Amino acid sequence: MDRTWLHKLASPPHFYRIAGRLAPWLGWPALALILIGLYGGLVLAPADHQQGEGFRILYVHAPSAWLSMLVYATLALASGIGLIWRIKLAHAVALAAAPIGAWFTFVALATGSLWGKPMWGTWWVWDARLTAELILLFLYLGFLALHGAIDDTGRADRAAAVLALVGVINLPVIHYSVYWWNTLHQGATITKLGKPSITFDMLWPLLVMLTGFTLCFAALLTRRVQAEILRRERDAAWLRAELAR
Amino acid sequence: MASALRAVLLLYRRDLLLAFRRREQVLQPVVFFVMVTTLFPLALSPELAQLRQIAGGVLWVAALLASLLALEYLFRADHEDGTLEQLLLSGQPLVLLAAARTAAHWTISGLPLVVASPVLAVTLGVPAPALWTVAISLALGTGILSALGSVGAALTVGVRRGGTLLSLLVLPLAMPALIFGARAVALAIDGGGARGPLLLLAALCVLALTLAPFATAAALRISAE
């Protein structure tokens, strides 16, 4: 199998160019899908017969929660690739992904809290999923703090990558331990494949929002990796040539 | 293999010897443990019936913080005087050396907490039959924290003001142990069987002891570059 494209992808100049070309193709569809999803979720979808209009926060909450986990998976995968095959670009991807993931986690927590007030009567409950999400936020912050504390970029990259891998092994343990500890959160809505527990009118905006958020993450990631490459390769000759074009 | 085992034993003995030459290093975590536990009756209420309800959580949080306190020095002195480089260059499997260091750390900072915990538990009104659960759960819990903490300590060994960073890295990972440990103690105080959470805690301990030395070894290699 010809794998030169893979090696090319791992070199900063190629990735910088590809990411630059890819970003608009991810960003604009993301914006369009999020706008469509918001219109569908906030206007077209019928009000929930139990939760009334309040349930509509689901359209921001669920995609954020989904991404908070997807981004951590991306971060751990990139860290693993960087550690095993010693690909510096992978570390740049992990570092670029971490703040995005932390923000999505924060948004999931904040919207969850806003949703909890009318539904459960309090801003915060020590419920399993909320707590697991909070611990996930701590893991993101730890990753960023460790990376920020070490001056040498290469060493910081690898130390943070080890932490990310330890974290990803721990995530299922944290998830299940917190789950057995306490549970109040409603069951997942669309994991029941085949027979979702909400009607199609409510479901399609959610799926559109999920796709939109995921594309949005991809677009942000490509741009942030580009910025990270700019920072790391600031003295490289290819970058000067690239920017002069 | 025989030489590796000898290196492990030598390192373990050396660490214990060093710790007992500087005895305050062994005493500090225990004193901290006792003091933090004392704060709760003062802050909440001296009534034993009320204290009994929170005893499990108080003992566990205090022990977690106390054993965190000692973590910062796990590799620091060796890093500063160059011993760490010698260990890396010794040609012995670093995973085993990391495990030996973790075991020594547990003996120095974890075991005294386990020994002190039944006494403290009595002052918090924990009934006698539950004292075994307190000691066993803390023995497993401090083991988990020593294993996880060695990873964090190895990652932050060359970092300025590593102490706060270390707690930020290690505490989220230790939360499952806290959940099961405090639950086991609470169940035992209520007179129920604490077997389930204790077995889960033991499983976590085995998992941490098996995997953590590899991460510690990798982190030490990175930190010593």
Averaged pLDDT, groups of 10, chain B, 225 residues long: 86 90 85 92 85 89 89 84 87 90 91 93 88 93 93 87 85 89 88 84 93 93 84
List, as ranges, residues 116-145 from A with C-beta within 8 Å of B.
135, 138-139, 141-142, 145
pLDDT(A7) > 80 = no
Give the range of the structural domain holding residue B99, as residue numbers without chain letter.
Answer: 2-223
Paired strand residues for A214: none
- Quote the pLDDT of residue A193: 43
* A21/B147 Cα distance (integer angstroms): 46
- Report pLDDT for A123: 78
- ∠B211-B212-B213 over CA atoms, to 5°? 100
pLDDT at A225: 93
What's the pLDDT at B1? 67
Does the beta carbon of B34 lie under 8 angstroms from any beta carbon of chain A? Answer: no
Question: Which residue did the predictor score with more confidence, B181 or A188?
Answer: B181
What's residue A182's pLDDT? 60
Task: Give the pLDDT band (50/70/90) at residue A49.
Answer: low
Query: Poorest-confidence range of A195-204, A223-232, B92-101?
Result: A195-204
Structure token digits, residue B108: 């120095």
Tokens of A153: 């970029």
| Residue B100: both structure tokens together | 């030996």
User: Per-residue confidence at A189, pLDDT binned at 50, 70, 90?
Assistant: low
Query: A44 touching B, CB under 8 A?
Result: no
| Per-position DSSP letters for chain A, written without gaps between them | ---HHHHHHTSHHHHHHHHHHHHHHHHHHHHHHHHHHHHIIIIISPPBTTTBGGGGGHHHHHHHHHHHHHHHHHHHHHHHHHHHH--HHHHHHHHHHHHHHHHHHHHHHHHHHHHHHHHHSSS----HHHHHHHHHHHHHHHHHHHHHH-SSHHHHHHHHHHHHHHHHHHHHHHHHHHHHH---SPPPSS-STTS-SS-HHHHHHHHHHHHHHHHHHHHHHHHHHHHHHHHHTTT-HHHHHHHH-
Q: Is B162 on the interface with A (CB under 8 A)?
A: yes
* CA B55 to the chain's CA centroid: 19
Residues 6+ apart with CB under 8 A from B189: B52, B53, B55, B56, B126, B127, B130
Residue A57's contacts (CB-CB under 8 Å, 6 or more residues apart) are A111, A114, A115
Torsion of CA A94, B172, A191, B204, to 10 degrees: 110
Cβ-defined contact of B179 to A178 (cutoff 8 Å): yes
Please give the residue of chain B at the shortest CA–CA distance from A141: B168
A113 touches B: beta carbon within 8 Å = no
Burial of A15 (0-12, 13-18, 19+ CB in 10 A): buried
d(CA A57, CA B209): 43
Distance, CA of A153 to CA of A242 (rounded, Å): 23
pLDDT band at A170 (very low <50, low <70, confident <90, very high): confident
Q: How many beta-carbon pairs under 8 angstroms link A with B? A: 74
The CA R_g of chain B, rounded to the nearest whole Å, is 18
Query: Residue A2: pLDDT above 70?
Result: no
For A162, which of B148, B165, B218 is closest by C-beta distance?
B218
Our count of domains for chain B comes to 1
The pLDDT-based confidence of A194 (bands split at 50, 70, 90) is: very low
* B155, B156, B176 member nearest A173 (Cβ): B176
Most confident of A159-163, A197-201, B80-84, B124-128: A159-163
**Confidence class of residue A4 from pLDDT cuts 50, 70 and 90?**
confident
Confidence bin at A184 (pLDDT 50/70/90): very low
Is the pLDDT score of A218 beyond 70?
Answer: yes
* Rounded Cα–Cα distance for residues B69 and B146 (Å): 11
Place of tokens 């017969």: A49
CA torsion A163-A165-A171-A174 (nearest 10°) is -50
Report the pLDDT averaged over residues A207-229.
94
- Are A203 and A31 spatial neighbours (Cβ–Cβ below 8 Å)? no
Share of chain A above pLDDT 90, in %: 42
The model's pLDDT over A57-114, given as tens digits with 9 standing for 90+, comes to 888 998 999 999 999 999 999 999 999 988 889 999 999 999 999 999 999 999 888 8
Name residues 155-184 of chain A within 8 A of B (Cβ): 155, 158-159, 162-163, 165-167, 169-170, 173-174, 177-178, 180-181
Q: What per-residue confidence (pLDDT) applies to A143?
A: 95
Rounded average pLDDT over A105-125: 84
Residue B82's SS3 state is coil
**Whole-number pLDDT of residue B45:** 81
Q: Does A84 touch chain B (CB under 8 A)?
A: no
The per-residue pLDDT for A192 is 42
The answer to whether residue A26 scores a pLDDT higher than 70 is yes
